[in-house]
Amino acid sequence: MPAKTMDELVSLCKRRGFIFQGSEIYGGMQGAYDYGPLGVELKNNIKAAWWRSMVYERDDVEGLDAAIIQNKNVYKYSGHEDTFTDPMVDCHECKSRMRADHMKDIKICDNCGSDKVTEPRDFNLMFKTNVGPMVDEESYTYLRPETAQGIFTNFKNVVDSTSRALPFGIAQIGKSFRNEITPRNFIFRVREFEQMELEFFCKPGEDEQWHKFWVDTRKQWWLDQGLSEENIEFEYVTGDDLSHYSKSTVDILYKFPHGFEELEGVANRTDYDLGSHTKAQDEFDITAKVKKNEHSTAKLAVRDLEAKKWEVPFCIEPSAGLDRGLLALMTEAYTEEELENGSTRTVLKFKPHLAPIKVAIMPLKKNKPEIVALAKELKVKLQKLGLGRILYENTGNVGKGYRRHDEVGTPICVTVDFDSIEQEGSPVTVRDRDTMEQIVVPAAELPAYVVNYFINQD
């Protein structure tokens, strides 16, 4: 049973070191969170799984890591300066600030019920910053609100250096920044977040089939990470809700504790982006409505050998929020089980490849040198397997250790006891997180057992 309330997750995240409130010792900062020892491991594991599926397991995708701070013309021609806004309303009575499109009635304050609210006005979501020693209107740029623009501006560089032909994609994971009016629901909507984005370029006319392909592919990926079918829905974005660049968009929704909300969007961006950033726009049959570009120095097009002409590719964009993905996976993994003795245990049933700690090695007695030495030796051997973090935990209380590792999602706990140092083969006890079953494995066979466990489980 997934987590029912956000409070359950927030409490667990702080207690076990997944996520902390940013700047907490100074009263915190709305919309800013810090990832603790286990949170950063979980984030890295999700990123690794995404990168593996997008880049390593495909032969038509390249990777990229573009700069966060870019030339301000990037956002002039992308349309962000003109369109990247939310409607904002202020209440004169309680001084609260709200997004008009999230209010029940834009004439009545959601917080205090007052009708003393302002008319909605556009609020640009980009963080403005200055570059260089002078602070003036000529030195400004923005912290990127999405990773996508760095991909579009590097399109020619990637094509020239890899000799890619259509269809192909460019993948990127990185930080983005949005000055949200009302950050809310824990890490669901924040001002600083990470995105996992793919821009997949294809021929005009093939865009709709590729759009469907990526919608289906991305849903299956989330299922493979552990989300359940009944907690996922599609929303087909239409009309005024479509972004200015989009021909069609499908949002993959997940049932978070606060309801179904967007987990990932898959958009058909047509030739808008490359068409916006290319020079000599009049030389191409650009279908999207783009602003005349007077600053670009590159033609962002590919040669169609059959038609014997240059054309601007269409683009399909699967864009997922890493923070939202982590929240969804924690929600799904959160489980409370009643045991035979009437007590309950909390378990995070992550897929093993996502678990922050892969194996915990626990000596039965922390003051028995022979037991401690064998436990440390096994920790080193397992760490060299490259599966992820292997934790040596010398607390001396195995029962409490089991419960703690259940709660953080550790798939395997290994106990080194007196039998391990007294009996032939140095047997150790291996406990499974989900079944709580325990088996005895000779120490020399433990690395092979662990490797096989993770291969078979995933």
99 annotated among ligand-binding-site residues: yes
Query: Cβ distance 43 to 194 under 8 Å?
Result: yes
**Distance (Å, rounded) from C-alpha 176 to C-alpha 441?**
46
93 annotated among ligand-binding-site residues: no
321 annotated among ligand-binding-site residues: yes
166 annotated among ligand-binding-site residues: no
391 annotated among ligand-binding-site residues: no
362 annotated among ligand-binding-site residues: no
433 annotated among ligand-binding-site residues: no
Phi then psi dihedrals of residue 61, to 5 deg: -135, 135
404 annotated among ligand-binding-site residues: no
179 annotated among ligand-binding-site residues: yes
317 annotated among ligand-binding-site residues: yes
11 annotated among ligand-binding-site residues: no
Q: Which two tokens stand for residue 161?
A: 């250096």
363 annotated among ligand-binding-site residues: no
Query: Cβ distance 225 to 329 under 8 Å?
Result: yes
Phi then psi dihedrals of residue 341, to 5 deg: -85, 5
81 annotated among ligand-binding-site residues: no
Q: Which amino acid is at 75?
A: Y
Going by C-alpha positions, the residue among 401, 423, 422, 397 that lies closest to residue 412 is: 401
193 annotated among ligand-binding-site residues: yes
326 annotated among ligand-binding-site residues: no
194 annotated among ligand-binding-site residues: yes
**Distance (Å, rounded) from C-alpha 212 to C-alpha 268?**
10
262 annotated among ligand-binding-site residues: yes
323 annotated among ligand-binding-site residues: yes
448 annotated among ligand-binding-site residues: no
24 annotated among ligand-binding-site residues: no
386 phi-psi bin (left φ>0, alpha ψ -120 to 50, beta other): left
246 annotated among ligand-binding-site residues: no
Query: Cβ distance 64 to 343 under 8 Å?
Result: no
196 annotated among ligand-binding-site residues: yes
231 annotated among ligand-binding-site residues: no
Query: Cβ distance 64 to 150 under 8 Å?
Result: yes
* 369 upstream amide cis, omega within 30 of 0: no
Q: Which two tokens stand for residue 228?
A: 């359940």
146 annotated among ligand-binding-site residues: yes
SS3 307: coil
Produce one character per residue of 353-379: b if its CB has 16 or more CB atoms within 10 Å, e if not.
bbbbbbbbbbbbbeebeebbebbeebb
337 annotated among ligand-binding-site residues: no
Going by C-alpha positions, the residue among 178, 143, 152 that lies closest to residue 323 is: 178
Question: Which residues are annotated binding-site positions for ATP?
Answer: 178-180, 188-193, 262-263, 321-324
**Which residue positions form the known binding site for substrate?**
99, 146, 193-197, 317-321
Binding site, by residue number, is 99, 146, 178-180, 188-197, 262-263, 317-324
